[in-house]
Amino acid sequence: MEKFIKLTGVAAPMPLVNIDTDMIIPKQFLKTIKRSGLGINLFDEMRYDDNGDEIPDFVLNKPQYRDAQILVAGDNFGCGSSREHAPWALLDFGIRCVISTSFADIFYNNCFKNGILPIVLPQEEVDKLMDDAARGANAVLTVDLENQTISGPDGGTIGFEVDSFQKHCLLNGLDDIGQTLEKGAAIDAFEAQAAQARPWV
């Protein structure tokens, strides 16, 4: 997993609430057995018309947002299915950070596993960043994970919260499985005790 330390990039505004995982990556693209290559189909049904041509009004099709690395989104982003194809598609497009008032749990968790930082902020602050993002090519935000701050184009700085374990993993690009296997003895001990207590499992 690529480390996430500090990101400076264009932020794209997506104020729609309840952007679900079917919108992020429709099911016809879940038939892959790989993690890569999904960026071209990110937001497929909002981004392309029935002929496969780009819909010019869609935010990520506008010239100033084509290289966006940050999304500022409406409430409850990533609701719906557990498909990790959603963060894979975001990442493959180049999005490393999503900011919203709230995220669906499974999507939120999936982001961290892929080096994407999801940030939850109060409504007023998301509104402010949404305005910043609407400035197009000037909508450059800097997200500093180490110091847990977002700086906007006008120089203002907003702080954010992040789980200490998730932060540690992102800053260092750590693989969860490797870390858990280091606790193998605790798992062995638990398994032995559980086999006694609940032998039918």
Minimum CB distance to another protein, residue 42 (Å): 14
Which residues, including other chains, have CB under 8 Å from residue 189's CB and lie 6 or more apart? none
CB 27 within 8 A of CB 86: no
Measure the CA–CA gap between 150 and 143, rounded to whole angstroms. 5
Minimum CB distance to another protein, residue 161 (Å): 13
Choose between 77 and 93: whose C-beta lies nearer to another protein: 77
Q: Compose the 73-112 pattern: x for residues touching another protein by CB under 8 A, - for all others.
A: -xxx--xxxxxx--x--------------xxxxx--xx--
Residue 160 burial (C-beta neighbours within 10 Å; 0-12, 13-18, 19+): middle
Q: Which long-range contacts (CB under 8 A, 24 or more apart) does 165-171 make?
A: 166/112, 169/1, 169/112, 170/3, 170/4, 170/112, 170/115, 170/117, 170/145, 171/3, 171/4, 171/5, 171/145, 171/146
Minimum CB distance to another protein, residue 65 (Å): 19
User: Among residues 66, 67, 163, 192, which is the contact residue for another protein, using CB under 8 A?
Assistant: 163
Q: Compose the 37-66 pattern: x for residues touching another protein by CB under 8 A, - for all others.
A: --------x----x----------------
* Residues binding another protein (CB under 8 A): 15-18, 20, 22-23, 26-28, 30-35, 45, 50, 74-76, 79-84, 87, 102-106, 109-110, 113-114, 163-165, 176-177, 180-181, 183-184, 186-187, 190-191, 194, 197-201
